[in-house]
Amino acid sequence: MSIYKIAAKTGFSVSTVARALSGTGYCSKEKKKIILQVAKEMNYKPNHAAKELRQKETKRIIFGIPEIDNPYYFKMIQGVNSLLEEHGYIMMIFNTKKQLKKELEMIDLLAQKYCDGIILVSHDFSETNVNAIRETNRPAVILNRYLDQRPDDNFDYVYNNHIQAMEFATEHLVQRGCKKILLFTGDQSEQTSSERTQGYYNVLRKYNIPIDKKIILNGDYRKDCAYEVFKKFLRNNPVDFDGIVTSNDMMALGVLDVCDEVGIKVPDNFKLVSFDNTDMANIIKPKLSSIDLHEYELGRKGSELLLERLNGRVTATNYTLTPTLYVRQSSEI
């Protein structure tokens, strides 16, 4: 099925058929009517690949995330999709599995014009993938990381101010009277974790609270891990702390499970603030004070910048989101 078949059937030329079907260019009413009729009869459907080849546009965007099974990205996926959908683009999800190789594979698809642009949440953003993106010279947006940007770069950044986010969380506890605050975070080699630790330090210094590296506990953002780490900590240390910040709600759940077991009450024995402000934060008891990183907005802003690129913007830009602290029972005085 193609416009050639329709041309043969109707006796008109291919170009007349093409004009009739696309609606652009001249075509008499009568011929158009016949052509549309025949197209319907023959169940004609335009071939998208041919269109893409001709018009150099796919109407597709790839959204790459490090872990497709991590609910953390669910809101971001929605945010990215929301605006793209409004503009007639379809979002493709690409699971990069925290592998540089997969990220490069995805960037290669951009180079091959498999899509019109990409939005990438990089796991460990390095010169390698930034340069690969530069080489494509095609529209791209990077979420949640910031490495380096030149005015003529073909990509934009949207990122969270993780330092500020942790400052909010820590300062909140200090202002509620906490003097010794435990920090649960991810591996320090990850940019996010190290930035957050930085924010924690900033506040302690500001209030002249001594820094004790032994109360910075590294986990992996999972509930079970936080449970084990905290349990082990309590075995070897007295409950002389009065605050805890966990780097996500799941870790907070792990901490609370331990508390339940050993009879520690939150917020009576210590106050707790976590990150991500997921549904859990509102459902669990006590309700969790939590930092909202606005993942939906992050995704939506990312797609907004990408759409601008697709519409012709050429100078590189970036956008920083400000986190919000939602105060609930777990940090009540």
Partner DNA sequence: CTGTTAGCGCGTTCAT
Partner DNA sequence: ATGAACGCGCTAACAG
Catalog residues that contact its own copies under the rule CB under 8 A: 43, 45-50, 52-53, 58, 60, 62, 68-69, 71, 74, 77-78, 81, 85, 90-95, 108-109, 111-114, 135, 253, 279-280, 283-285
CA–CA gap between residue 286 and residue 249 (Å, rounded): 12
Cβ proximity to DNA, 46 vs 286, nearer residue: 46
Q: Tell whether residue 42 is a contact of DNA (CB under 7 A).
A: no
Closest CA relative to residue 183, chosen from 255, 282, 287: 255
Q: Tell whether residue 109 is a contact of DNA (CB under 7 A).
A: no
Q: Which stretch binds DNA (CB under 7 A): 19-27, 233-241, 247-255, 287-295?
A: 19-27
Q: Tell whether residue 14 is a contact of DNA (CB under 7 A).
A: yes
Q: Tell whether residue 27 is a contact of DNA (CB under 7 A).
A: yes
Q: Tell whether residue 8 is a contact of DNA (CB under 7 A).
A: no
State the burial class of residue 281 (Cβ atoms within 10 Å of its Cβ: 0-12, 13-18, 19+): buried
Residue 68 interacts, among DNA, its own copies, none and using kind-specific CB cut-offs from 5 to 8 Å, with its own copies
Binding track over 53-92 against DNA, x by CB under 7 A: xxx-------------------------------------
Cβ proximity to its own copies, 143 vs 165, nearer residue: 143
Q: Tell whether residue 37 is a contact of DNA (CB under 7 A).
A: no
**φ and ψ at residue 243, rounded to 5 degrees:** -155, 150
